[in-house]
Structure 1
């Protein structure tokens, strides 16, 4: 027996609650009948217009915070891909029949993401419940009657809402300060590398859009004796200042070890031992590749990190995934790590990156790797600087990501 088809458009319009759909740029994509009825707006006045064009703050109230609080909630949803429930908000609405006259209204909003195939937020479900009647009881004289009880309830709820708003604002400012300090620290520890003697290279770091999701990723690019270079990237679990400090320690240790040890396997083995003595370094992923310009070979080893991509001169892409082991510090006892070598022709391109470039929520990693390979092939003629910019432009979602991204591109 086949199940009956559901007319979801009819269901949406018949929902008893106020529900609107917003694009990532906060333009109304749709609004159900209850939303339009309660907001006292026509479909033409809403759909296709920016949210805050339709519902601006009351200009007669210098303390109005409706736009700021709602914008912050919607930004959190777009940045995190998670639902956000707001405290009760006072958000006055201009009368459509009497321009310039504003009605005091109270709302209880919930904002939820709709995730697209690429893992980004494509729509925001903006569900609103009007609670004005609850907060401001109707009729009667003030005193101990229904109206008096309603005003007591209004005062209590509004006070709690303002407390929550103030707390959120303090947290936002604290997070903003931490992000600023962390990014400054990141820039100090990830300077632009000195030009290589034999190769052209480009490096990029893009912080996450969230307030705290920065500073876990790093890159390292150094010249070694005998016409060799070491290229590495890594990703510390965690975010913020703590992750930035751990990142700095591991990057310095890897850079030093690469100069004295024989190959990437030994370098990552020693780095893994060091990671066990650094708080917060557990389960860090990293990959190192040593390019030998005389032998035209790349020797590499990975500690749980996404595989480097080698764009060959014939336009094919090979992912260097034949020497992958556990993340740093994951084993209770040290053990030799695997190492593999592949040949290359001059003119090939080596790309190392962190997972922010390819991973998306609810998407298999192979999809992200295929997307990277396709972009590399389409831009194979570009120089490293242009290619790096193209990869970030095409692979990072337009609305930003919740994980930072490090990228190294080397033309061999």
Structure 2
């Protein structure tokens, strides 16, 4: 069956109710037919113009606050990327035919973000319900009946606004606690681990709702070996950070007694079945043996580690990838693979926030990572870690957490 060809521009203009699109600078980008009709403006009078040039405040009403309220709401949407429901507004409209005449109007607005591929607000969707006629049906504006109805509507809208603010504050507290928990559990790189230095980084998402469960871990093993892991819990906020802490600790313990990374992930997968929220977690585990100059690795659905050779070539370790934790109904032993390295090579483990973008194939992100590694192959681990974050993360702010480990071999 062929998918229908939908003209979304036509759909937008036919939407019932007043809907307009504005840029983050509060300039009209488009408006549907109901908006034009009920606002009494033509498309030419709106598009490309600042909202309050088209609809200025009534200068004859010293108590008017509609303009400042609407502006504050829209700027909140741009700053937070979250929907904002406004209280009932009285916002008089200038008669387009008689500039000195103002018509008393009552509106119930909602402003919502339209996000671009980088997660930034590119448009504000401004939906308005005019309730002037409703007030008149219950009694003319200014009458006792109308004032009662206006008060009821105002109270309901204010309650919604206060609920939105409470949710924003709760999310902010959730983010602060999650970040504190992650900071307490994620170790600082031990300069003595390995032979030639290592660097670790954790970069939280920019948005208040996007703190995730990314983690890394590095431990010494018996003999001249170390174990390195990077993982990513599905979900956001404090719950994801708590799951992250449980899985990281369990994998760290399993790695100390396992014969190899695949067996450590087998143990972790069995444990994850008893941890709510651990399903679909991705993680990659690597054992580095300095005596044998080998890297043995196993991946549970995670982006492949990158091995940067001294000559600048990059190999992605993708020969032992299996589904994420809890993805199979029955337990099946996980695969592992081994690769050799020469002194001076660099191993890079990371989470998907470093390479994935909503509008790109993952191969594009991997190619971008490989290019940066090749160009900066002479950098020490600390400098290389900073360069990777600076070159690969969006300049507009990270929309996902990123964990990163760089080890000079």
SS of residue paired to 2:397: coil
Name the residue aligned to 2:4.
Answer: none
Give the conservation status (yes or no) of the 8 Å contact 1:190–1:219.
yes
Query: In structure 2, what is the equivalent of residue 187 of structure 1?
Result: 183
Report if aligned partners of 2:187, 2:217 keep a CA contact under 8 Å in 1. Answer: no
> Within the alignment, does 1:323 sit opposite 2:320 as a pair?
yes
The alpha-carbon deviation at position 262 of structure 1 amounts to 1.4
1:178 paired to 2:174:
yes
Shift of 1:278: 2.1
- Where do 5+ consecutive residues of structure 1 fail to align? 1-7
How far apart, CA to CA, are the structure 2 residues paired with 1:371 and 1:331?
A: 32
Which of 253, 265, 269 aligns to 2:266? It is 269
CA deviation after TM superposition for structure 1 residue 267, in Å? 1.0
The CA RMSD measured in Å over matched residues stands at 4.3
- TM-score (structure 2 length as normaliser): 0.78
Which of the residues 131, 155, 160 maps onto 2:156? Answer: 160
- Structure 1 residues 277-317: Cα deviation after superposition (integer angstroms, max 9, x where no partner): 22222221110111222222211100111111122222222
Number of corresponding residues = 390
Residues 1:305 and 2:302 are matched in the alignment: yes
**What are the residue-to-residue correspondences of 1:7-406 with 2, within 5 Å?**
19-23=20-24, 26=25, 28=27, 30=29, 66-76=70-80, 78=81, 84=83, 86-88=85-87, 90=89, 106-116=107-117, 119-121=118-120, 123-129=122-128, 131=130, 133-134=132-133, 137=136, 149-195=145-191, 196-406=193-403
Aligned-pair CA distance for 1:373: 2.1
CA distance in structure 1 between the aligned counterparts of 2:386 and 2:90, rounded to whole angstroms: 42
1:320 to partner: Cα distance: 0.8
Aligned to 1:4: none
User: Following TM superposition, by how much is the alpha carbon of 1:92 offset from its aligned partner in structure 2, in angstroms?
Assistant: 6.3
Say which SS state the counterpart of residue 377 (structure 1) adopts: helix
Partner SS state of residue 172, structure 1: helix
Mapped contact 1:137–1:151 kept (Cα < 8 A):
no
Distance in 1, Cα, partners of 2:146 & 2:318: 66
Q: Structure 1 residues 142 and 178, CA, compared in 2 at 3 Å: closer, same or farther?
A: closer
Distance 2:315 2:270 in 1: 30
Q: Deviations over 1:200-239 (max 9, x none)?
A: 2111112223334324111001222332221111111222
SS in 2 for 1:403: coil
Q: 1:374 to 1:154 in 2, by over 3 A?
A: farther
- Secondary structure in structure 2 of the residue aligned to 1:185: helix
Other structure's SS at 1:233 match: strand
Answer yes or no: is the 8 Å Cα contact 1:22–1:126 preserved in 2.
Answer: no
> SS where residue 218 of structure 2 aligns?
strand
- Given that 2:113 and 2:121 are in contact with CA atoms closer than 8 Å, whether structure 1 keeps it comes out as no
| Structure 2 Cα separation of the partners of residues 85 and 173 of structure 1 | 14
Gaps of 5+ in 2: 1-7
Normalising by structure 1, what TM-score? 0.77
For the residue of structure 2 that corresponds to 1:123, the secondary structure is strand
Q: CA deviation at 1:135?
A: 6.8
Measured after TM superposition, the shift of residue 11 of structure 1 is 12
Partners of 2:90 and 2:259 lie apart in 1 by 65
| Higher mean C-alpha displacement, 346-355 vs 388-397 | 388-397
C-alpha distance in 1, partners of 2:194/2:62?
61
